[in-house]
Every structure is written in structure tokens, then in C-alpha cells.
Structure 1
Amino acid sequence: MILAAATNEGLAQMSNYLVYSSMAVYTLAFLAHIAEWVFGSRSKVGRTAAALTGDAKTAAAAAPAVTVQVKKAGGGTAVLDRPKVVTRSAAGARDVPDGPGAAGGTVKGDLYGRMAISLTALAALLEAGGVLTRAMSVERAPWGNMYEFSITLSTVVVVAYLIFLIARKNVRWIGLPLVTTVLLVLGLATTVLYTESEQLVPALHSYWLWIHVSTAIVCGSVFYLGAVATLLYLFRDSYENKLANGGDPSAFARSVLERLPAAATLDKFAYRVIAAFFPLWTFTIIAGAIWAGEAWGRYWGWDAKEVWSFITWVAYAAYLHARATAGWKGRKAAYIALVAFVTYLFNFYGVNIFVNSMHSYAGV
């Protein structure tokens, strides 16, 4: 028999303070990201247009060459132009240079960008402290209800973003939508979904809680990054198509979309992160089935949570299959990826709130 530990109210209250503090710092990071985009360079519209029209003069003016100094044998130096990096689209239809990844282009824009990243890292540290103290307050995994799942998921997705930055990936373009989403998730978690720190029902006192739910959180975090990249890919692809067909995008589109990587880069990023973590989602479903066999005496009972987990698996499998099918690459596959992420969100929010499920005993 497992004896439930009493709740440490002091640690539970500290957890709340840390989560609220992280929200305040995330807000500052959001403002810094806005400043980064506002004060960053707005003069790079010629890069994509020049690449699509073949105007070398415009390309040179819009994308100043990066120089590399090389030592000569005689002791002097030679200045060489570093070639522009272009990304070939999946269909091979066009070569388009990547944007700077965020605002870029000016010292002020880059300064605000660095401030935003630093504030985001600080906020993630505070939020992680909130998750840890929540776990310590009840001596169990800190994802036994929707509130705890939300604060843990938002922490993990920010950490994943920071890991990509440390790996020197061009992902600063995720910063603004990421912080905005995290603030929305935490706002919903601390108001509508908030649950007092307390012990769970006996069925959840299992080591499978650590395995099954943690992998679901990791998958959701990476699927979110893939969904952001996919959504931005659709906007950037439309922008590139408009330029290639001689269209004239709006000033707002020029200012924002030129700062993103090329459509092919965004598409490739989304595909790689989803493909890399799809096997882990498969394991998540298998682990849940094993846990269900131990807790309820059956591995699969077509419970709503089980059904929607499987629907999410099918949707992402369809996306990966579409990427391997010539006629479904590009925008068609991207739509499937977005639908797949929506099924993940419904599995978390919709099933828990609107559907009677055997998983509902965890509470909101």
C-alpha cells in the first residue's frame, strides 16, 4: 500500500510565486522581441526578389557581402567574399537565400534580440524552479493534472528552443511566437486550469507516470516547434511565390517575411524535428497501453484519450508519408502537419475538458 505524503504548502506557494515571476520575465522577453523586430533592418527585401529574378546588382545591394581575411604567403592579407548561403527547395524550383533569422541587420536590433534571449532563458529557469518545487511539495511527478502538464510543457518547449540556439541553429525566428504562446499557456494555466497541489488517485501512483507523461510532454514540445515552422513556411512560401510571379507584397510582408529563413529551410526544419520525435510518440502510446494494462486490466479500451492519441499518431504518420510522396510535398504536406498538431492539442485540452474519459480522474 502506498501512503500519500502530506502536501508541503510552503513549497506549493513558492512554486506559484516562481511561475508568476516567470510570466513577468516572459513579458519582458516578449517586449524585447518586439523591439528586436521593430528596430532591426527593414532593407533586406531585395535578397529574395533578386534571387528569384536573377538581378545580381539588386542582390549585392540588398545582401552585403561577408568578407573573410586570408593570410598570404608573403605576409599580407587577401579579402575574400564569402558566398551567400541559399537553400534549394524540395521541389528544386528555386534557390532563395535565408533571411537573418530574426530582425538582424542593425546593432540595435541585435542588441534587443540578445536581451530577449537572455530574458527568455531567465524566465525558463524560474518556471523550471516552479515545476521542481511543485513536485517537491507533493513528492511526485509534477504533471498529474492539466495545470502541472501546462507549466511543464511550456518549460520544456522553451528549453528545446534554447538548446537549438546553443547548437547554433538559425532559430531566432521562433523567439517571438514562442514567448507569445508560452504567455498564453501560462495565463490559461494559472486562471482556468489552476489546481491546488495535492496527491493523486492511487491509479496514478506508478513509475509509468514518469515515463508515459514525460515522453508525451517532450513530443508535444517538439511538435509545437514543428507547427510554428510549418505555419511560417506557408506564409514565406506564399511570399516567395508572389515575388516569383512578379507580384508586389505589402510593406508589412516585406518587413517581416524577409527576416525569416527561406521557405525550404522552414519546411526542412519542421520535417526533421517531427520525423526525429515521431518514434518517441509511438513509444508514448505503447507505454500508455502497458500502464493501462497494469491499472485497469486491459491494454486498449477505446477510451477518448487513447483514441485521440492514436488519431494524432495517424495524422503525423500521414504527414511523414506525404513528405515521401512526390505529389504531396510542400504545402499539402504542411496542411497535414498542422492538422496533426491540432489533434494533439485537442487530445490535451478538448478531451480533458469536454469529453468524459477514464483519464478525467486527474482533474482539470
Structure 2
Amino acid sequence: MRIDETLARYSDFAFMSAMAVYALATVLLIVQYASARAKQVAARELVPAGDPGLPGRIETPEAKPLAERLGNMAFAILPVSAVLHIGSIALRGFATYRFPLGNMYEFITMATAAAVVIGLIFLRDQRYRAIWAFLLIPVLILMFLAGTLLYADAAPVVPALRSFWLPIHVTIISIGSGVFLVSGVASLLYLFRMRQPAGEESTNIVGAIARHLPDARTLDQLAYKTTIIGFPLFGAGVILGAIWAEAAWGRFWGWDPKETCSFIAWVLYAAYLHARATSGWRDTKAAWINIAGFVAMLFNLFIINMVISGLHSYAGLT
């Protein structure tokens, strides 16, 4: 099978450009976040330009603080980086004449793109702005690992992956993983926010950071809403994977390491949703279960694919 080297280079360039824009947006957001306390104190009232005693005086608003302008710049370039990110996936597919989900580099690229798109959908509101810096950091870390340690040249997939089930099963799993990334970050920030209740002053670093996050209830609801989306997606991906396994290996389920870890992650997310509806568990205990589910997802992605041998080993560094 031939490869379009030109499109492959464009795909890599789009991927690196997306990373660079994400990094720029993260820096801008961190600057804005660090200056959040100053912004809250800055005067926003209209300032009289002439003698206040004169009728018909002209009033002009004060200029926005530099930190706020930088934050606005970050949100202006985020859609650009998302387009570059998605474009790198599409170009990889056109370059290889296949669906671009044949190795860990491509899987992580798809999952991180899904996380950013979910962020653009759910974090549009001004009150969610502080979350973006914490979401982009793990996205950048995953993309860095994908682009360096896990990078794979554009090439045909191994024979085991030449199936119409690949775009169905792996796409659903990767999108679900991206949604769970947003949910996991929200639960971590929720636990962080619980250390500093709204309206309570603190001189330590934890309190200073937590005060500028949305309130704990808002973070908890964000984690819950995103998990409600990711849970059925991931569940459907596991079921479709079992159907593919029956077609490829003659059995639906064989307790392969990846199958087992995926099932554990699915059970943990089911437990989280159940805990959110159970009195006495819906606060920090439920959040810890959600985080445990995301840790299981990361374990499944890195340790199972790269360390433990199984029927899914071909999905590793190929």
C-alpha cells in the first residue's frame, strides 16, 4: 500500500503546530489565572472625563487589564489549535489511505482532540475559564508523549487491524477516553476546590489557587455531565470490541489484559455514576471513584499496550 509522503509531512506539521498553539494558549491562561486576584480588585466603574459637576459630562470605561486581554487572546486561538489538531488526524488518514487509528500515536492524537472539542463545548461559559489551563496541561503532556516516544511514521496498519471494525470500535473508545479526560480533570479540581470553600481566605498556595476556580458544586456537575456522555460511549466501544473479537478470534471475550482492564475501568465509571446518586457518597468519595476510573484508563493505554503482552499487543509501538 502506497503512502503520500507530502500529506504525511503536512499531518506532522499540523500536529506540531497544534501543540505550539496549545502551549501558547496555556501560557496566556496561566498568566491570566495568576493575575485573577488582581482582576477582581481592579476598578471597572465608569470614570468621569470632565468636571463631575458639569451636566453632560462624558464617561469612559477603564481599559481592560493586560491579563484579561491575554486570556481573551488564549480563547481566540483555541479554536485555531483545535482545527490544526483535527486537521492532522484527517491528513494522516489521507496520507495512509486508511482510518488514522492504527497505533498509539494516532489514538492519543484522536483522544486529545476529543478532549479539546468537549472542552470547547462545555467550557464556553466565562465561569469555566480557569479550568482550561488545567485541561490543556495534560493534553500537552499526552501530545508530547505521542509525538516523541510513541510516534509512528505514516504506514499501513498490520493485517489484524485491516477491518471495517477499526474506525467504529477504536473511534468510539478514543472519543470516550477524551471525554473522560475532561471528567477526570474536573473531579481533581473539585477535590482541590474542596480544600478551600468559597468565601474563605487562606494564605497557602492551595487556597490561593483554589479560590479562583469555579465553586465545588459547578466542578462536580461538570465531572458528572461529561461522565454521562463518556460512559455509554466507552461501554458501546467495549461491546463493539467484543463483536470484533468474535469475528477475528472466534470468541467474544477471553479476559485478555486489555479487555480485563477496559472492563475494570467501565465498572469504576458505573460505580461513580451510582455513587453520585447515593446519599453519603455523592461528594468526595464519588470524585475519588471517578479519578480511579481515569487512572485505570491511563493504565490500560500505557501499561497494557507497552508492558503487558496480550492479543492487543499489536496496538502498541507499531
Q: TM-score, normalised by structure 1?
A: 0.77
Percent identity between matched residues is 41
Say whether the 8 Å CA contact 1:242–1:249 is kept in structure 2: no
Aligned AA (1:158) = V
Aligned partners of 2:39, 2:196: CA distance in 1, in Å? 16
Aligned partners of 1:173, 1:131: CA distance in 2, in Å? 28
Measured at CA, do residues 140 and 313 of structure 1 come closer, stay the same or move farther in structure 2, by a change above 3 Å?
A: same
Say whether the 8 Å CA contact 2:169–2:241 is kept in structure 1: yes
Please point out which of 36, 40, 60 is paired with 2:32. 36
Q: Which residue of the partner structure matches residue 212 of structure 1?
A: 169
Q: Which residue of the partner structure matches residue 156 of structure 1?
A: 114
Aligned AA (2:274) = H
If asked which structure has higher relative contact order (CA below 8 Å, sep 6+), I would say 1
Q: Which residue of the partner structure matches residue 68 of structure 2?
A: 110
Aligned partners of 1:264, 1:199: CA distance in 2, in Å? 47
| C-alpha RMSD of the superposition | 2.4
Say whether the 8 Å CA contact 1:138–1:198 is kept in structure 2: yes
How far the C-alpha of 1:25 sits from its partner, in A, is 1.5
Say whether the 8 Å CA contact 1:229–1:270 is kept in structure 2: yes
Measured at CA, do residues 35 and 63 of structure 1 come closer, stay the same or move farther in structure 2, by a change above 3 Å?
A: closer
2:317 is equivalent to residue 360 of structure 1: no
**1:224-245: per-residue Cα shift (whole Å, max 9, x none)?**
11111101111111211994xx
Q: Which residue of the partner structure matches residue 301 of structure 2?
A: 348
Higher mean Cα deviation, 202-211 or 303-312?
202-211
Q: Which residue of the partner structure matches residue 323 of structure 1?
A: 276
Q: Which residue of the partner structure matches residue 276 of structure 1?
A: 229
Q: TM-score, normalised by structure 2?
A: 0.88
Aligned partners of 2:198, 2:128: CA distance in 1, in Å? 23
Aligned partners of 1:252, 1:339: CA distance in 2, in Å? 25
Number of residue pairs matched? 300
**1:61-115: per-residue Cα shift (whole Å, max 9, x none)?**
x89999xxxxxxxxxxxxxxxxxxxxxxxxxxxxxxxxxxxxxxx6433211111
How far the C-alpha of 1:251 sits from its partner, in A, is 4.9
Q: Which runs of 5+ in 1 are unaligned?
A: 45-61, 67-105
Please point out which of 311, 330, 338 is paired with 2:291. 338
Say whether the 8 Å CA contact 2:33–2:130 is kept in structure 1: no
Q: Which residue of the partner structure matches residue 257 of structure 2?
A: 304
How far the C-alpha of 1:346 sits from its partner, in A, is 0.7
Say whether the 8 Å CA contact 1:40–1:108 is kept in structure 2: no
Say whether the 8 Å CA contact 1:41–1:109 is kept in structure 2: no
Q: Which residue of the partner structure matches residue 14 of structure 1?
A: 10
Measured at CA, do residues 238 and 254 of structure 1 come closer, stay the same or move farther in structure 2, by a change above 3 Å?
A: closer
Aligned AA (2:97) = E
Aligned partners of 2:280, 2:239: CA distance in 1, in Å? 32
After superposition, residues 1-364 of structure 1 pair within 5 angstroms as: 5-42=1-38, 107-166=65-124, 168=125, 170-240=127-197, 243=200, 249-364=202-317
Aligned partners of 2:162, 2:66: CA distance in 1, in Å? 52
**1:87-144: per-residue Cα shift (whole Å, max 9, x none)?**
xxxxxxxxxxxxxxxxxxx643321111111222222211211111111111111111
Q: SS of the counterpart of 2:85?
A: helix
Aligned AA (1:312) = A
Say whether the 8 Å CA contact 1:154–1:185 is kept in structure 2: yes
Aligned partners of 1:271, 1:64: CA distance in 2, in Å? 36
Measured at CA, do residues 318 and 199 of structure 1 come closer, stay the same or move farther in structure 2, by a change above 3 Å?
A: same
